[in-house]
Structure 1
Amino acid sequence: MSEVWLEIWSTVQSEFADIPDAGEATRIVLRLGMAVMLGGLLGYERERSGKAAGLRTHMLVALGAAIFVLVPLQGGMEVGDLSRVLQGVIAGIGFLGAGAIIKLGEEREIHGLTTSASIWMTAAIGVAAGMGREATAVVSTLMALFVLAVLRRVEARIASKEQNRVISPGSK
């Protein structure tokens, strides 16, 4: 019976051989953790804004994108050969983002473009984190948060001023 357990243990060890040491395990956890955390920041902003694609969606998009580049890099794929993987990620995220866009009755009533763009951005951030470009991922996230949160307020102020502008009769 002990031979069976030894064989099972040996098989389990060989299945986890893609993580050869503690350094590699730490690297994997950091990259994937960074992707999840940064995706979560963007998702939290979207959720706080009442958008359908929120915290969990953005976290999963970032995690998935990070895994799509991390696994081939672990397998020895050259960075230059990742272009095909990236093309697939970008195309797949395009379909996911398209699902966030809703066109209502009138031509000008289109909703979800910003959420769709944030999903696309989240995938790019996940790719950066998965490739070990954590600083790029963090800076990109901060810029995206600025665009999503700060510029929304600027847009609201401009729209409010335009609505409050009253043109009196006879003035030009």
Structure 2
Amino acid sequence: MNLVQHIAAPLFDPSGQGVRQFTELGIALLLSSLIGLERELQQKSAGLRTHTLVGVGSALFMEVSIHGFGAVAGLVGVRQDPSRVAAQIVSGIGFIGGGLIFVRRDAVRGLTTAATIWLTCALGMACGGGLPLLGAAATLVHFLVVRGFPVITRRMSMVPGDRVELHLSYRTRRGLLARILELCTKRGFRVTDVHIEPEQPADGRERGRAKEAGVVLSLEGKGPAYPLVEELTYWDGIIGVGLRAHQDAGD
């Protein structure tokens, strides 16, 4: 009975549950919410709620790991190792991250969101472990990578060897798509993906005649794609041509 009292007496001791611990949880809440809000605005599978819960939960696990076992600290034969809980957090977050990654038509998606969940877990652990400045720095790194890097890659999108997307709208039943693919190949581009949009009547009064369709070609090449766009502009039956940087499939 004395052993039970020895363990139970400090359970509601305010030490380890003071202003510092609540502040650390609050910082984790704020930082993880910022990352979650950015993901929510990008309409990703894991948004504001998921990232916030991951960040706050990781911080709470760290608080429990550091302050939650004071009652058994003085017992003979009992060893305290706060790093054990931290290691389990790192292992457990993999289940959430793995559930966000999926493959569709040889394209892997969700990698960036899974990595963001992993980072949010780490910043929550940093806040719970008494390192809020590191957590804030990790949050800044997130916005630098996710928001800043795409700007850099877009500016470099037309350098030789880069990947681009060719957006076309054309009149069907003229064999244009086959000629377009042949032209891309002749110009030294490799077509990695073809996405065709549903056909629509060119004119509401013309049923059964020429229709309009859209196609997105993902191209890889060693030279600029502007000459390709310029040539297609003069083709009969081509309604519109657009070119932009290849969209990252790992988001």
Q: Which residue of 2 aligns with 1:35?
A: 28
Q: Which residue of 2 aligns with 1:45?
A: 38
Aligned-partner Cα distance in 2 for 1:15–1:48? 45
From the two aligned structures, give the one with the greater helix fraction. 1
RCO comparison, higher one (Cα < 8 Å, 6+): 1
- TM-aligned CA deviation for residue 18 of structure 1: 3.5
State whether residues 45 and 148 of structure 1, in contact with CA within 8 Å, keep that contact through their aligned partners in structure 2: no
Out of 34, 44, 48, the position equivalent to 1:55 is 48
- TM-aligned CA deviation for residue 167 of structure 1: 7.0
Listed one character per residue, the Cα deviations across residues 31-81 of structure 1 (whole Å, up to 9, x for unaligned) are 101111100111111111110101111110001100111012113569x82
- TM-aligned CA deviation for residue 155 of structure 1: 2.8
Out of 148, 151, 154, the position equivalent to 1:150 is 148
Aligned-partner Cα distance in 1 for 2:15–2:81? 23
From the two aligned structures, give the one with the greater strand fraction. 2
5 Å-filtered alignment, 1:86-125, equals: 86-106=86-106, 109-125=107-123
Q: Which runs of 5+ in 1 are unaligned?
A: 1-13
Out of 160, 166, 169, the position equivalent to 2:225 is 166
Listed one character per residue, the Cα deviations across residues 66-98 of structure 1 (whole Å, up to 9, x for unaligned) are 0111012113569x8222211210111011001
Out of 12, 23, 32, the position equivalent to 1:17 is 12
State whether residues 46 and 53 of structure 1, in contact with CA within 8 Å, keep that contact through their aligned partners in structure 2: yes
- Larger Rg, first or second structure (1 or 2): 2
Which SS does the other structure have where 1:103 is aligned?
strand
State whether residues 97 and 116 of structure 1, in contact with CA within 8 Å, keep that contact through their aligned partners in structure 2: yes
Q: TM-score, normalised by structure 1?
A: 0.77
Listed one character per residue, the Cα deviations across residues 101-148 of structure 1 (whole Å, up to 9, x for unaligned) are 011122xx0100000000000000000000110111111111111111
Q: Which runs of 5+ in 2 are unaligned?
A: 1-8, 74-79, 167-223, 229-251
